Amino acid sequence: MWDRVVLKENAKMALSGDKYWKAFAVCLINSLIVNMFSLSESFSTKGIDLLSPKSVFENVVSFHWYTIPAILLFIFIGLPLIVGVSRFFLANRFGQTDIGIMFTGFTDSYSSTITGMLTTALIVFLCSLALIIPGIVEGLKYTMVPFILADNPTMPGDRARQISSMMTNGEKGEIFVLYLSFFGWFLLAGIVLSLFSWLLWPIASLASIAASAMIFAYQKATFTELYIFMRDRIIRCGAVSPAEFGKIA
């Protein structure tokens, strides 16, 4: 069984020295790319009156110009980036810190990566539409899919989900608590940033993304530790061969 405190301590060691700043750069680049259209909207409107009932209503019900491009961005750029960022953190864990690794999701089995990740995202989304809790459970069950595809991008999505399900079986509650353990950090960042709400809206948006990227680097490194532990455990018990993870026995 894994221990949350040990995972976080190992993550801190994996991010020691200049490796943290490279990990932060990866998370920041990723966040800027996936938030491209919302940032563009912020700059174009030069801020909105969040206290205005009209503005609140418009932002809830209106179909923004960037909605469809944002969906396409998520599918064809965001999903490969998720796998690429996971691959960077795996490589970083073993001493390889080339930031360019985050873009390998576009070069290593691009179509297979999109298919596997999109199908997984749709399954979680559809379960969330039915009920929130089943959606959360499905999301926890498939937490390891991006890491599995990072290890072996040619693996079919259904097999990656099957392996992730085996890895997380009986431990979804603990994984959920691990996610929650980072909530305080994100909340603190939100409180600090709220103190600077007087800044122009685009600047506040950029500051929020940068703060989230700093925390996300720590979170991603922690879940990388969890994945490595679960991967090694499932290989040792013989349920999955090292070759399926792209490893030599």
pLDDT tens digits for 118-152?
A: 999 999 999 988 788 888 999 999 999 999 999 99
Q: How many CB atoms lie within 10 A of CB 220?
A: 23
| Helical packing angle, 201-236 and 4-14, nearest 10° | 110
The structure's pTM equals 0.86
Structural domain containing residue 239: 4-100+168-245
Distance CA 103, CA 88 (A): 9
Residue 91 lies in a domain: yes
Residue 113 lies in a domain: no
The predicted pLDDT at position 184 comes to 87
Q: How many CB atoms lie within 10 A of CB 182?
A: 16
Our count of domains for the chain comes to 1
155 φ, ψ to 5°? -70, 135
Q: Which residues of the chain have pLDDT under 70?
A: 37-66, 192-204, 248-249
Residue with tokens 């305080």: 184
Residue 182 lies in a domain: yes
Residue 90: both structure tokens together: 């795996």
DSSP state of 77: I
Residue 123 lies in a domain: no
The predicted pLDDT at position 173 comes to 95
DSSP codes joined into one string, 146-207: HHHHHH-TTS-HHHHHHHHHHHHTT-HHHHHHHHHTTHHHHHHHHHHHHTTTTS-HHHHHHH
Residue 149 lies in a domain: no
Residue 61 lies in a domain: yes
The predicted pLDDT at position 37 comes to 59
Residue 105 lies in a domain: no
Tell which residue, 218, 210, 229, has the closest CA to residue 147: 229
The predicted pLDDT at position 195 comes to 66
The predicted pLDDT at position 1 comes to 85
The predicted pLDDT at position 71 comes to 83
The predicted pLDDT at position 63 comes to 46
Residue 108 lies in a domain: no
The predicted pLDDT at position 72 comes to 86
Residue with tokens 């879940």: 223
Residue 191 CA to chain centroid, in angstroms?
22
Distance CA 95, CA 98 (A): 9
Residue with tokens 């948006």: 205
Residue 247: both structure tokens together: 């490893």
Max CA distance (Å), the chain = 62
Q: How many CB atoms lie within 10 A of CB 27?
A: 26
Distances (CA, A) of 147 to 13, 234, 236: 20, 14, 18
